[in-house]
Amino acid sequence: MSKEEKILTFLIFCLAIVIRVFLIFNKDLWFDEAIAYFIAIESIPNLIQAALADNQLPFFYLILHFFIKLLGDNEFILRLPSLLANLASLVLIYLWGKQLFKDKGSFYLLALASFSPLMVYFSVEARPYSLLTLLTLLSSFLLVKFIKKSSFKIGFGFFLCLSLSLYTHYFAYLLFIPYFLIAWIYAKKALFYLAISFLISLPIISSYLYFPHPAIFSINPLLGLVATFASFLIGGVGSISLRSYLIDSHILTRLLNFITLALGLFLAFRGTKLAFNSNHLRSIILILFLPIFACLLISFFIPLYSARAFSFLAPYFFVLLIFDLNKSKKILILPLLAFLVTINILPFIDPKLSYPQIKHATKAIGDQNTILHTSVLTYYPFKFYSPKQSLLIAQNPLSSKTIEIIGGKISQIPLKKEIYLVNIDYGNNPREVLRVNKIIEKEYRLIGQKRLGSITLYHYNQHQ
């Protein structure tokens, strides 16, 4: 590696850290993260039960539990496990790139992963996706290494990383499909470690089946397939936390994202075609595509598909994209990277994409006022920032077991001199909002309202 490349690699990694730390301190805790917090602060038996009842697996929450216990419970500490997992993934991606590519391929791969809006977003969210990405990278890296040298040490490492991923997120089970094929074709001894990993996961599967679960929010599988590959490049494909850059944004923002999508997908398509001729990259093609298409088929019968949950496969997508750049089109990497960096700052310059201003809203209301919520999307984050004053007055979609452990039962509208009602633009049940408004209007009169991004605060006084 030349001195220039070493300096550029160091600068890219430093810039990746700066972007992520900036986001940690400039993005309020959101619904999923607040749920993670309230699960993680429970005792370990309750933590496991609450996670399983909420369609989650416990390993990430156990890590978060001990981080909170040892270091505290502010936003930085809650997001620190995800940040560390993501930074470790960047190092591993770079080292893997050194093995796969000549010239500056590993540098380009690191830059793509560092500025990927999807990987940046989940690196600062207190959710298991960054941890799952790291564990998947480690297990696939060790599987490839085991093919070259089938030692017990490497095989055990593969078993350990895969087993931990199976306790992190359900989508990790989809990895059995490509891993089985790769092991069967290249190293049948690895089948032993796959079998042991599956046996180790049986307790969590049986425990999961024991608990009642809320309905899984799942989009149309074909739409989800498109959203998955779009999210690898632009991140924003959702309507709640990771907002859609293609629909909910300014026309110039949409244009930027369509250009980024067109360029990235074109290069990834060419790279995939070329990768079929490379023994090193056929495994990556299997790891990327087989879980996605397996989930697609299953989702036609069971609502399961989640585009964001496939974020752990983004590094494999970038490898295929870089494979084409490394061969013939290196000049295209600079505009693509520039587009990715720009997309990362869109939530701070496009109001339609701004993150919900939860902390600002709690400060605007104050600590002594009663705050009513028509959605869990605001209730749990407000409860984190203002725990004593928040009341949920609409239906809670979480499972009864999760609610029993972390709280969130429906409350009656209290009779107070003044109250605040919090509404959010999306994720509400319109009938519930209408019902609540009718009840409030009988006892209270509206004296003011304030708009904070996607949140509206209504201030009421009791009728005299």
Q: How far apart are CA 296 and CA 299, in angstroms?
A: 5
pLDDT confidence band for 348 (50 / 70 / 90): low
Taking only the tens place, the pLDDT of each residue in 212-235 is: 656 566 677 888 888 889 889 888
Q: How far apart are CA 262 and CA 260, in angstroms?
A: 6
Mean pLDDT over the full length of the chain: 86
Helix, strand and coil percent figures for the chain, each rounded to 5: 70, 5, 25
Per-range mean pLDDT, top range of 167-181, 294-308, 349-363:
167-181
pLDDT greater than 70 at residue 343: yes
Taking only the tens place, the pLDDT of each residue in 149-203 is: 889 999 999 999 999 999 999 999 999 999 999 999 998 999 999 999 999 998 8
pTM for this entry: 0.92
Q: How far apart are CA 122 and CA 27, in angstroms?
A: 12
Dihedral angle, C-alpha 449, 453, 454, 456, nearest 10 °: -10
3-state secondary structure of 348: helix
Q: In the prediction, which pLDDT does 240 show?
A: 47
pLDDT greater than 50 at residue 147: yes
39-70 b/e (C-beta count within 10 Å ≥ 16 → b): bbbbeeeebbbbbbbbbbbbbbbbbbbebbee
Taking only the tens place, the pLDDT of each residue in 66-115 is: 999 999 988 999 999 999 999 999 999 999 888 888 767 888 899 999 99
Token pair for 9: 């690699």
Can you say whether residue 417 is alpha, beta or left, with left for phi > 0 and alpha for psi between -120 and 50 degrees?
alpha
Question: CB neighbours (10 Å) of residue 71?
Answer: 12
pLDDT greater than 60 at residue 365: yes
Q: In the prediction, which pLDDT does 249 show?
A: 62
| 197: nearest Cα among 180, 214, 218, 219 | 180
Mean pLDDT on 132-154: 93
Mean pLDDT on 254-276: 86
Percent of the chain with pLDDT over 90: 39
First to last CA, the chain: 77
Mean pLDDT on 444-453: 85
Which residues fall within 8 angstroms of residue 352, CB to CB, at 6 or more apart? Answer: 243, 248, 249, 250
Q: In the prediction, which pLDDT does 196 show?
A: 95
Q: In the prediction, which pLDDT does 57 show?
A: 92
Write down the domain spans for the chain.
Answer: 3-353, 358-462
- Select the more confidently predicted residue: 256 or 137: 137
β-strands 418-424, 455-462: how paired? antiparallel
Taking only the tens place, the pLDDT of each residue in 12-56 is: 999 999 999 988 888 888 888 999 999 999 999 999 999 998 888
Q: In the prediction, which pLDDT does 17 show?
A: 94
Q: How far apart are CA 400 and CA 213, in angstroms?
A: 8
